[in-house]
Amino acid sequence: MSRERETWATRFGLILSMAGNAIGLGNFWRFPRLLAANGGGAFMIPYFIALLLLGIPLMWVEWSIGRYGGKYGHGTLGPMFYLMARESVKPRTALIFGIIGGMLAFAVTTLLNSYYIHVIGWTAAYAIYSATGSYYGANTVEFFNNHIANTSMVLTTWFIPMIILFIAAYRGVAKGIELFNKIMMPLLYVFAVILAIRSITTGAPVRPDWSSWAGLQYSWNPDFETLRSNFWVISLAAAGQIFFTLSLGMGIIHNYASYVKKDDDIALAGLTTASLNEMAEVILGGTVAIPLAYAYLGPDVVKQGSLGLAFMALPNVFTALGDAGRVFGMLWFLLLFFAGWTSAIAMYNYLVALLEEDLGINRRLGSLIVFILYFLLGLPVALDSSLTYFGELDNWVGSYLLVVLGLFDVIVGVYLFKPDNLWKELHTGALIRVPSLFKYILMTLTPIYILILLVGTTIDYYNQGVFAQADPLIVGARIAIILVLIIGAIETYYGIKKKYSKELAENRK
Nearer to ligand PHE, 63 or 143 (CB): 63
Distance from C-alpha of 397 to C-alpha of 385, rounded to nearest angstrom: 20
Q: Provide the minimum distance between the beta carbon of 399 and ligand PHE in the complex, in angstroms, as a whole number.
A: 12
Shortest spacing between CB 24 and ligand PHE, in angstroms = 2
Chosen from Na ion, ligand PHE, none, partner binding at 346 (C-beta under 5 to 8 Å by type): ligand PHE
Does 20 interact with ligand PHE (rule: CB under 6 A)? no
3-class DSSP assignment, residue 138: coil
Nearest approach in angstroms of CB 372 to ligand PHE is 19
The CA-to-CA distance between both ends of the chain, in Å, stands at 23
Other CB atoms within 10 Å distance of the CB of residue 463: 11
Candidates 26, 176, 270, 329; binder of Na ion (CB under 5 A) is: 26
Query: Under 8 Å CB-to-CB from 386, ≥6 apart: which residues?
Result: 473
Cβ neighbours, 10 Å, residue 324: 10
Per-residue DSSP letters for 252-320? HHHHHHTTS-TTS--HHHHHHHHHHHHIIIIIIIHHHHHHHHHHHH-HHHHHH--THIIIIIHHHHHHH
- Choose the one of ligand PHE, Na ion, none that binds residue 202, judging by a C-beta under 5 to 8 angstroms depending on kind: none
* Rg of the chain in Å (alpha carbons): 22
Piece of 20-28, 54-62, 127-135, 369-377 that binds ligand PHE (CB under 6 A): 20-28
Per-residue binder mask for ligand PHE (CB under 6 A), 226-245, x = binder: ------------------xx
Interatomic CA distance for residues 487 and 106, integer angstroms: 9
Closest CA to 387 of 118, 113, 37, 107: 118
Residue 25 interacting entry, from Na ion, ligand PHE, none, C-beta within 5 to 8 Å by type: ligand PHE
Does residue number 349 form part of the binding site for Na ion (CB under 5 A)? no
What's the CA gap between 85 and 94, in Å, rounded?
5
Site string for ligand PHE, 239-278 (x = CB under 6 A): -----xx-x----x--------------------------
- Which span (15-23, 196-204, 222-230, 356-364) binds Na ion, by CB under 5 A? 15-23
Q: What residue type is 242 in one-letter code? A: I
Distance CA 123, CA 128 (A): 9
Report the length, in residues, of the chain: 509
Q: Is 202 in the site for ligand PHE (CB under 6 A)?
A: no
User: What backbone torsions phi and psi does residue 198 show, to the nearest 5 degrees?
Assistant: -55, -40
CB-nearer residue toward ligand PHE: 94 or 397: 397
Q: What is the DSSP letter of 108?
A: I
Find the shortest distance in angstroms from Cβ 281 to ligand PHE. 8
Per CB under 6 A, contacts with ligand PHE among 337-376 are 343-344, 346-347
Q: With binding defined as CB under 6 A, does residue 112 bind ligand PHE?
A: yes
Identify what 349 binds: Na ion, ligand PHE, none; CB under 5 to 8 Å per kind: none
Does position 219 interact with ligand PHE (CB under 6 A)? The reply is: no
Q: By beta-carbon distance, which residue lies closest to Na ion?
A: 245
The reply on whether position 405 binds ligand PHE by CB under 6 A is no
Q: Are 83 and 270 in contact (CB under 8 A)?
A: no
Stretch touching ligand PHE by CB under 6 A, among 21-29, 122-130, 221-229, 383-391: 21-29
E strand spans, 5-87: none
Q: Could you give the CA distance from residue 434 to residue 31 in angstroms, rounded to a whole number?
A: 28
Amino acid at 302: V
* Residue 426 binds ligand PHE, judged by CB under 6 A: no
Give the shortest CB-114-to-ligand PHE separation in angstroms.
Answer: 10
27 binds Na ion (CB under 5 A): yes
Question: 113 to 132, contacts with ligand PHE by CB under 6 A?
Answer: 113, 116
d(CA 168, CA 364): 10
Residue 130 vs 245, nearer CB to ligand PHE: 245
What whole-number distance in Å separates Cα of residue 414 and Cα of residue 244? 21
Q: Is 24 in the site for ligand PHE (CB under 6 A)?
A: yes
Assess 249 for contact with Na ion (CB under 5 A). no
User: Which residues make up the interface to Na ion (CB under 5 A)?
Assistant: 22, 24, 26-27, 245, 277
User: Which residues make up the interface to ligand PHE (CB under 6 A)?
Assistant: 22, 24-27, 112-113, 116, 244-245, 247, 252, 343-344, 346-347
